[in-house]
Structure 1
C-alpha cells in the first residue's frame, strides 16, 4: 500500500479506469468470483490500455492544436518550475484525461459485456436469463417438506455458484399447496421469499411471444368443435 500522498494518487490513477470496467461488467452480467490474481490483472490491464488510449488522443490533439494543450516538452525540461507556473492547466488536463480513460473503460465494458457462457453460470441464471431474458416467467417450486409454491419471478441471486445460501423472490399471483394437500390454492400475499436450500425441484413457464401467441390462436381456431 502507498505510504505517501503521491503514491496514493498514482494508485488511484492506475486503478480507477480498470475498476470502472470491472464494476460495469458485473452490473451487466451474473456475479462471478475470479481469483484475486485474475481480478487484479483485469483491473490493471484495462487501466493501462485505456490510459494509453487517452494519452494517444492527447498526443493527437497536441499535434493538431498545440495552443490548447500543456507543453509537455517544457514540463519535462523544467519540471517543477513549469508545473508551478501552470498548475491549474495541468490539473484540469490530468483530471480530464483520467475521466476520458474511465469513459473508455466504461464503453469497453458495455461493448464487450456479452452474455457469459452457460457452462460458468448457475442453473438459475440459465433458466431465467439465458433462454428468455427479461420475460418475467412463472416459477413453481416443490419444497423439501412436500409443499408447492408458484408465482411470477421478481428477483433471484445472480451468483454463478449453485449455492444453497441464496434466495428466490416470487410475486403475485401466488399459489400454494400445503404438504399432503391434493389441490393448489391462491395465496393472499404479494410476495414470497424462498431459500434455495428448501427447494427440491423448480419448474419454469415462459410467456408466449407474439409469434407463439398467433400460432396458438390459429391452432385453437382450426381445431374441430365437438358436437
Structure 2
C-alpha cells in the first residue's frame, strides 16, 4: 500500500496505543481495560456494544456495520460511524488498516468462534506493517517484527507459531531457534520457555520474513508492549505489501 493510499484510508490517528474492541467474548480484565483506557477506543462493528456496556462511547466504529445493534447505532454519533461496504475483508482488517498508531491492543477477537479467531490471525499477516497485540483469556499474541527484545521472567512460557515459512534466530530461550526454518506442517515452536536461573532474562528474536506469531502468557503484556514500541524497534518494521 503506498503512503497516499494509507493516508486516504486512515480514519483514526494517535501517537499513543489505541484499543480496538471486537464483538467476541470478553473476560473481566478486558472490560476493566475498556473502562480505564486513557487513549482512543475503536470498535470493530459489533464491538461497540462492549464499549457502551463498559460506560464508554467508541471514538469510531469501523466495519460493514451488519453486527451493530440498533441500541449501539442510536448511542454512537453518526460522524463516528465508518461504514466500509466491501466484503473481501473482515471487520478486524477493515479497522486495523484504518488505524495509524504506534500500537493497537485488540480484545474481543479470540476465544469465541474458531473461524473468527483464525480470521484475526489472517488479519495480522495481511497487515504486517501494523503493530498489534491480541489479548486472549490466558495469552497474548502478536506478529513478530524483524527483531524484538523483551525482558521476561525466567522459566515463563514462550511459544512461536509460524503462519508461513519463516527463518528465525533467538537468544535467551531454553531451546534456541538457531536460524531454523519454521513452517506450518513442518516445524513449530510451541511450549518453549525463557532460559536462565536469574529472576529475569533478556530474550531476542529475529525473523527473516513476516509470519511468526509470538504467544506469551497474559502477564507478559507490559513487556510485549515495551518491545513493540521501543524506539529502535520502530525502525525495524515490516514494509506494507502491495495491495
TM-score (norm 2): 0.24
Q: As a proportion of its length, which structure holds more helix?
A: 1
Instruction: Name the one with the larger strand percent.
Output: 2
Normalising by structure 1, we get a TM-score of 0.25
- Rg larger in 1 or in 2? 1
